[in-house]
């Protein structure tokens, strides 16, 4: 029997959407086995854009006396120590990329005994009956009370509730194994044609996405493979 992983649900709030150029300004985590939480604001060393503050409510004033990422990273590593599954919504295309980029900035490696689980990827694959898969939509679909959306710890707590309901008693090692398997997608997961069968999505639109590099972003590998399978985009 395979040993299960220690579940660490986590979330980041940032100054923007570019993992290479923007900065983490808040990180939170929940060890669902012990109930312990981790939460920290981070001084990014640059002004927080107004449009970012409108999303998460974090301002320059709130982080002016906060520690740097290097200081917070030390404590976060200690909190997640061991063979852990770091679980986040849109992990593969957002939170994980920010972690990797920020550890690189302080010349540290992501611990080799960490694995990453993307709950958005799971929802898209195993709940294709739902029209949307954003965390707050899933919260409503599973009947959980509203939280303070887009603050890290509040989102983490909701994510734990939602994902626990989605996987039931399936062990995390099995969840990770299933997500690691390639599986073709039948419906468009995002954009103006979201929910349509892939065969019904206009070819010009798909080719435009391909030319923009959308399918080469982490998290979209299966979608790219699916469109290649039906011959809409080239295989090379």
Q: Residue 234: which residues within 8 A CB-CB, separation 6 or more? A: 228
Nearest residue to 45 via CA among 118, 94, 99, 102: 102
Q: Known catalytic residue: 89?
A: no
| Strand (E) or helix (H) holding 216 | none
* The two three-digit tokens of residue 26, written as one number: 């808040």
Task: Please count the other Cβ atoms lying within 10 Å of the Cβ belonging to residue 29.
Answer: 25
Nearest residue to 86 via CA among 6, 203, 182: 6
Give the active site residue among 23, 133, 150, 176: 150
Residue 224 near residue 214 (C-beta atoms within 8 A): no
CA-derived radius of gyration, the chain: 18
Nearest residue to 88 via CA among 139, 173, 29, 142: 29
Q: How far apart are CA 31 and CA 8, in angstroms?
A: 5
Residue 202 near residue 210 (C-beta atoms within 8 A): no
| Strand (E) or helix (H) holding 117 | strand 114-118
Q: How far apart are CA 159 and CA 88, in angstroms?
A: 8
Q: How far is CA 129 from the centre of its chain?
A: 21
Residues recognised as catalytic: 150
């Amino acid at each position: 029997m395979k040993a299960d992983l220690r579940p660490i649900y986590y979330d980041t709030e940032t100054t923007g959407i570019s993992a290479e150029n923007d900065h983490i300004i808040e990180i939170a985590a929940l060890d669902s086995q012990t109930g312990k939480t981790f939460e920290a604001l981070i001084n990014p060393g640059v002004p927080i854009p107004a449009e970012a503050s409108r999303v998460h409510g974090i301002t320059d004033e709130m982080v002016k006396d906060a520690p740097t990422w290097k200081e917070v990273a030390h404590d976060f590593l200690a909190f997640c120590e061991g063979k852990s599954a770091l679980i986040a919504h849109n992990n593969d295309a957002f939170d994980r990329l920010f972690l990797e980029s920020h550890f690189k900035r302080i010349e540290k490696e992501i611990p080799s005994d960490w694995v990453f689980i993307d709950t958005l990827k799971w929802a898209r694959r195993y709940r294709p009956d739902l029209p949307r898969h954003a965390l707050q939509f899933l919260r409503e679909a599973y009947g959980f009370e509203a939280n303070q959306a887009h603050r890290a710890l509040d989102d983490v707590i909701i994510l734990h509730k939602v994902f626990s309901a989605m996987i039931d008693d399936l062990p995390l090692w099995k969840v990770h194994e299933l997500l690691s398997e390639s599986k073709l997608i039948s419906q468009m997961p995002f954009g103006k044609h979201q929910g349509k069968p892939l065969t019904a999505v206009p070819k010009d639109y798909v080719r435009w996405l391909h030319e923009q590099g959308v399918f080469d972003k982490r998290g979209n590998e299966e979608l790219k493979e699916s469109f290649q399978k039906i011959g809409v985009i080239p295989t090379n």
